[in-house]
Amino acid sequence: MYKPKVYCSNGVIVVLVQRGAKIDKTVDLSDLLGNLKNKVDCENILVIAQEYSSVKIYDKIGSNGGFAVSKVEFLVKEGADLAFVSRLGGYSVVFYLEKRAILDCFMLVTDEACVKKDFEIVLRGERARAVINGVYLVAGDQKFFLSVLQKHLAKHTSSFLRLHGVASGRSLVDFQGTIFVEKNAANANAEQAIKTLLFRNAKVDANPNIEILNNKEVTAKHKAAAGKVNSKILFYLRARGFTKARAEKLLIESFFDLFTISLDTQIKKDFAKRLQKKMRRLL
Amino acid sequence: MQAKKKSNDFKYFFTASKGLNKKIVCEISEKKNEPGWMTDFRLQALQLFETIPTPDWGCDLSELDPNDIRFYLKPIKNQQTSWDGVPEKIKQTFRVLGIPQAEQKFLAGVGAQYESEMVYKKLREKWANKGVVFLDTTQGLEQYPDIFKKYFSSVVLPSDNKFAALNSAVWSGGSFILVPKGVHIDMPLQAYFRIDSSAVGQFERTLIIAEPGSFLEYVEGCSAPVYKQNSLHSAVVEIIAQDNAKIRYTTIQNWSENIYNLVTKRAVAHKNSVVEWIDGNFGSKCTMKYPSIILKGEGAKGQIISISVAKKGQHQDSGGKIIHLASNSSSHFISRSISKEGGRSRFRGLIKVKEGAHGVRSSMRCDALLLDDSSRSDSYPNLQINEADVDVGHEAFVSKINEEQLFYIRSRGLSSSKARAMVINGFIDAFVQKLPMEYAIEINRLIEVDMEGSIV
């Protein structure tokens, strides 16, 4: 099986997927970097998906200990296809998408500590397309700060961000989202949607912003919603013998299902385990 | 389109010198024969104005120089209750705007402010007999000192922002309205604000108190001719809706393109009361206006419907704030903006749910239409939810005109420009529906004329 090339250059770890390479099996980023782990002192990682390559990367960096980076950058070149699944370590992420590049990203936040994340998606090539889905569970005194910037610099680009989350205890979800459409990015299509289910004394601060510079052929949407679980459905389930906690759990699972359903089986199992563990604490 | 004017040849009763200082503030207070506490209030506010920095967000205010502006211009000695007493020049201005005609047909009362003072104010006898008070704010202070002192600046403090401080220092004109318990005024009250000179400031202060179970609809219109020099309109509006009262405050702002419109509007809604801000921004060089509602009493309801049209050289920075302090309060927020010919529209919205406010329901929707390549639209909504037991949502949509809708209308035989005007009228329908019929027709016409030939 083809393996991406990994090397260190000027303090940056470079993961290179060669032109035209197709990797069907999901690549674990920490496995890839395993050899370099103790040898170099790098702060950044740069993943380059060369033209017309296709790769799926699963990332555990930052959460498996011992290997902390501050920034991970992805350069997805013309016609390349990148799927990135992240448990969100302690670093910021930037995606650069060139002509006809495709990004399919999924993020999961179940960590216990406070999480502060910066996501930037720069669509700089024509017809580049990005889909970012995410799920988060925060509880206790946890604080989750997420900032996402979808930057459209070229024509016919599209980006979709959808986040579903649950906040419980005295936790706080702070979301700063921006859709930015540059002057020449005609026919751009962008969307941001964040939905949070609230339990107990949890708080949400959502700022989904849109900035459109001088362009009429643009469609941009954002949605933000926060509330409790639907009381009618809860009542329906309880009338059928479910306990309140069990009914709430079912509703949360279905709330997340929309996004997790398309993941690889192994990753899905891994995520399901983490979700269950966190949910036990949450409810 | 208003024609460019060189100067206003009208002879004013009193004209303050340009610039802002203690002397001018004291002069205004003295001319109005105000009690000492108001003079002190003004001077403290002036100090705040000098210390609070100019906002570095929103519009570019670098061209606005207070030293170039006259802060007080009194057109006539005494306010009139009959149009016959109003000087011909001013009367003609308001006649062209259709104010006396509207008064006869469908208004419960009318106030007309020319520069810094109300020149005309009249309330129909029917409502005066029911105890409704509709006065110039200065008269309100004179005739109802206790009520005035109790509520004045209770909703908007001078320290709120730089321009609230400025208004507090130099306020003049505006309306003082008191609707007694249980009185439903089924016709709107209207105030019209006109700036007719170059490089002046208009700082009206409006205070509305709706006692329990009362109802009031207040319509405010603004306009000015075009001058080369900039003018400033910086009003403060305070509304108190007591238990079960309902207030609808409608603004149709059509200032000329040399006016900075920097306004602070806020309402407090007590138990089961309803406050509605219907806010239309069509003119001005720069508008920064975010009408707010504080839902203080249980079951209070708030609604903001805001529409703004940003044309060439205009920056419409508008939106609103709804703050839920009480349980079971609900709110609804709709904003529609249209940008064309290089205009810039910005929406800023806030929905805040404080801790302890259970069962809150709120929704915010802001949509924007971009009509050409040189215009810009931004949207900055903010949801701050500090209570789990709520249902809050926000949606926004920015796009160009829907081609399918255009095609549908054109296939029924209408011209391209007519079809576009229809789509835009449909876009702002939520706003127009809330206006009294006469205004709705006028706004539809205004949009139609405005949009003609402007959409590519």
Alpha-carbon gap: B404 to the closest alpha carbon of chain A (Å):
14
Q: What is the mean pLDDT of residues A229-245?
A: 88
Report the chain A residue with the minimal C-alpha distance to residue B385: A204
Alpha-carbon gap: A219 to the closest alpha carbon of chain B (Å):
5
pTM across the whole model:
0.85
Cβ of A223 under 8 Å from any chain B Cβ? yes
Question: What's the domain count of chain A?
Answer: 1
Alpha-carbon gap: A186 to the closest alpha carbon of chain B (Å):
9
Contacts of A221 in chain B (CB under 8 A): 395-398
Q: What is the pLDDT of residue B3?
A: 41
B185 is written with which tokens?
A: 């005024």
Q: What is the pLDDT of residues A172-210, one digit of tens each?
A: 999 999 999 998 888 899 999 999 998 888 899 998 888
- To test the contact with chain A by mutation, choose from B341, B348, B372, B392 the residue with the greatest count of A C-beta atoms within 10 A, namely B392
Number of A/B CB contacts below 8 angstroms equals: 111
The pLDDT of residue A112 is above 80: no
Residues of chain B with pLDDT under 70: 1-9, 438, 442, 448-456
Residue A248 — φ and ψ, nearest 5°? -65, -40
Q: Which chain A residues in 104-163 lie under 8 Å from chain B, judged by CB atoms?
A: none
Whole-angstrom distance, CA of residue A163 vs CA of residue B169: 48
Q: What is the pLDDT of residue A40?
A: 59
Alpha-carbon gap: B104 to the closest alpha carbon of chain A (Å):
44
Instruction: Test B385 with A207 for CB contact under 8 angstroms.
Output: no
Are the beta carbons of A134 and A108 closer than 8 angstroms?
Answer: yes
Q: What is the pLDDT of residues B37-46, one digit of tens each?
A: 999 999 999 9
Is residue A258 domain-resident?
no
Whole-angstrom distance, CA of residue A281 vs CA of residue A111: 12
Q: What is the pLDDT of residues A70-82, one digit of tens each?
A: 888 999 999 999 9
Is residue A17 domain-resident?
yes
Alpha-carbon gap: A104 to the closest alpha carbon of chain B (Å):
23
Alpha-carbon gap: A196 to the closest alpha carbon of chain B (Å):
10
Q: What is the pLDDT of residue A35?
A: 64
Q: What is the pLDDT of residue A216?
A: 59
Give the residue carrying structure tokens 């706080």: A172
Q: What is the pLDDT of residue B453?
A: 53
pLDDT range class, residue A13, cuts 50, 70, 90 = confident
Q: What is the pLDDT of residue B4?
A: 46
Q: What is the pLDDT of residue B8?
A: 58
Q: Give the start-to-end residue ranges of the domains of chain B.
A: 14-289, 403-456
- To test the contact with chain B by mutation, choose from A144, A159, A216 the residue with the greatest count of B C-beta atoms within 10 A, namely A216
Domain extent at residue A217: 5-227
The beta-carbon neighbor of A218 closest among B355, B385, B399 is B399
Contacts of A215 in chain B (CB under 8 A): 370, 373
Are the beta carbons of A79 and A52 closer than 8 angstroms?
Answer: yes
pLDDT range class, residue A20, cuts 50, 70, 90 = very high
Instruction: Test A221 with B400 for CB contact under 8 angstroms.
Output: no
Contacts of B400 in chain A (CB under 8 A): 216-218
Q: What is the pLDDT of residue B229?
A: 85
The pLDDT of residue A67 is above 60: no
Is residue A273 domain-resident?
no
Q: What is the pLDDT of residue A150?
A: 96
Is residue A248 domain-resident?
no
Q: What is the pLDDT of residues A45-57, one digit of tens each?
A: 899 999 999 999 8
pLDDT range class, residue A89, cuts 50, 70, 90 = low
Q: What is the pLDDT of residue A266?
A: 78
- To test the contact with chain A by mutation, choose from B317, B335, B346, B399 the residue with the greatest count of A C-beta atoms within 10 A, namely B399
Instruction: Test A222 with B375 for CB contact under 8 angstroms.
Output: no
Instruction: Test B373 with A216 for CB contact under 8 angstroms.
Output: yes
- To test the contact with chain A by mutation, choose from B377, B402, B456 the residue with the greatest count of A C-beta atoms within 10 A, namely B377
Interface confidence (ipTM) of the complex? 0.73
Cβ of A221 under 8 Å from any chain B Cβ? yes
Q: What is the pLDDT of residue A241?
A: 92
Instruction: Test B399 with A206 for CB contact under 8 angstroms.
Output: no
The beta-carbon neighbor of A218 closest among B391, B398, B456 is B398
Q: Which residues of B touch A (CB under 8 A)?
A: 342, 355, 368, 370-400, 456
Sign of CA dihedral B194, B197, B199, B205: negative
